[in-house]
Amino acid sequence: MKPIHIGNVHEIYDISSEHFVIVKTDRISACGSLLPIQIKNKGKILNTISNFWFNKTKNIVINHLVDDKIENMPDFFQNESFKDRSIIVEKLDILPFEFIVRGYMFGRMWKAYKKGDGLCGNILSGDYKLAQKLKVPIITPTTKCGGHDENVDIKFVESHIGIELTKQIIEVCLNLYEECSKYALSKGLIIADTKLEFGLNRQKQLVLADEIFTPDSSRFWDISDYEIGISPKSYDKQLIRDWLLNNKINDKFQFDKIPKNIVIQTEQIYNECLIKLVN
């Protein structure tokens, strides 16, 4: 069986008229490129964390997860190479937007704030510092345009999918962020921001899709290291990004020269996030 889609991390297999199998690999991308390295068990870690959240948030919104047990997969997937990194999901009509929930002044929001600009229609007043918690979380939608994220405002989303559906999504996003942030905080982690995607099922119900609250879709900070005004360390691939950015030769990224210790440290970061959240 061959995948119908191969992404930087995910592979998607069409197994029936109603279901896909999504496999999360150990591949990793950074600085706009798929890297010639793998992060050991990264796919299993993302899968485990995402499935944990899917089960924890079913009271807020239904999600696309149908089954994650290897013994219930088609025969092709019943071997060790697919174990713990594969899920059966419901086929959906995926909405053409990503919804980023931001709870802290960081990333694109920080850059816009320093310039006095808004982000996706959100203009924040007051005296904020880097990494400071926002008075209330905000949502900054993006749409894919030529393979790149393009910022849009809520009015743009409403014009494409309708006011009522947009309102429902905003409410769901904020509820998800609030519940999951509280849980993560109890485990010593701050969720600074997160990306959420949705689709509609055959009954036209809103369904949470993709993966949720993982190190690849969210920005996690350790509360013990958190300090307002300082860029916190993230539980993600930031070490690899930083090395690539700091070790260019003739303005070219050295993708094939990433040191082994940076790879091992990144593996440890992903694993530590799993242990803190799930175990």
- pLDDT digits over 57-112, tens only? 999 999 999 999 999 999 999 999 999 999 999 999 999 999 999 999 898 878 88
Alpha carbon distance 274, 272 (integer Å): 5
pLDDT given at position 122? 76
Rounded mean pLDDT, 27-52: 96
Q: Which domains does the chain have, with CATH numbers?
A: 93-222 (3.30.470.20)
d(CA 8, CA 27): 7
Does the pLDDT value for residue 113 go beyond 90?
A: no
Q: Which of 85-94, 112-121, 156-165 has the lowest mean pLDDT?
A: 112-121
Average pLDDT, the chain: 93
Look at residue 145 in the predicted model and tell me its pLDDT: 61
Q: Confidence band (pLDDT; 50, 70, 90) for 21? A: very high
Q: 214 by DSSP, 3-state: which? A: coil
At 126 the three-state DSSP class reads coil
Q: Is the pLDDT at 146 greater than 60, yes or no? A: no
Tell whether the model's pLDDT for residue 250 goes beyond 90. yes
With contact defined as beta carbons under 8 Å apart, do 7 and 25 qualify? no
**CA-to-CA distance for 137 and 182, rounded, in angstroms?**
13
Cα separation of the two ends of the chain: 34
* pLDDT tens-place string over residues 183-242: 999 999 999 999 999 999 999 999 999 999 999 999 999 999 999 999 998 999 989 999
